[in-house]
Amino acid sequence: MNERTAVLALHYQNEVLHPDGKIRVGVNDENVRERVIDGATRLLAFARAQQLPVVHVRIAFRPDYADCPRNTPIFQKTIELGAVKDGEWGAEFLAPLQPLNNAREFVVTHQRISSFAGTCLDNILRMLDVQHLIVGGVATHSVVEHTVRDATDRGYEVTIAADACAAGSPEFHEAALRSLAFVARVANVSELNQGQV
């Protein structure tokens, strides 16, 4: 394991993963929901056991959506659903995947698709002297893909924890991972635990 590694945990929020969430991308299937929550739980446990920095990234907008871009169908749908309003339950992290209150864990809020766009994420990673990112999140074909591509363009090495990700459908998930394999390593959390990454 590269000692200059950090974990990015993307959109493990109530709106996305809880049965009562308004978005539920990739988790309409209960088996998929349970799998990604289990994978995310194991990913965070791995990071904490290795004492790696963890950046928890959430998406949240003002209640009036004045900071929400309207140029894409995904954000138009977010507004229509009344989802991920800052200060409301849906924008909060799912209870089992909450950030810990310590010096190794950070929270970044964004309003675009890539976690880097308009945020301090890159500054945090540079401050920590990170070179390698392990990324998990929902959805694979959206925030994960955009963040991974953005990260590699910025010079980071990236490993995707595939079983800590989910998408709008298994087909979208698998297609995104196949495409991302050209710019990042794709692994499972068990491989991380076995030191294979």
Cα–Cα nearest to 148, from 124, 188, 122, 184:
184
pTM over 0.75: yes
The pLDDT, as a whole number, for residue 1 is 57
Q: In whole angstroms, what is the distance from residue 79 CA to residue 173 CA? A: 24
The pLDDT, as a whole number, for residue 27 is 53
What are the DSSP E strand ranges found in 32-96? 54-59
Give the single-character DSSP code of 113.
Answer: S
The domain spans of the chain are 5-193
Superfamily of domain 5-193: Isochorismatase-like (3.40.50.850)
What are the DSSP E strand ranges found in the chain? 5-10, 54-59, 105-110, 132-138, 157-166, 185-187
Q: In whole angstroms, what is the distance from residue 116 CA to residue 124 CA? A: 11
In tens, the pLDDT along 55-82 reads 999 999 999 999 999 999 999 999 999 9
In tens, the pLDDT along 85-100 reads 999 999 999 999 999 9
Cα–Cα nearest to 12, from 149, 173, 136, 163:
136
The separation between the first and the last C-alpha atoms of the chain, rounded to the nearest angstrom, is 6
In tens, the pLDDT along 156-191 reads 999 999 999 998 788 999 999 999 999 999 999 989
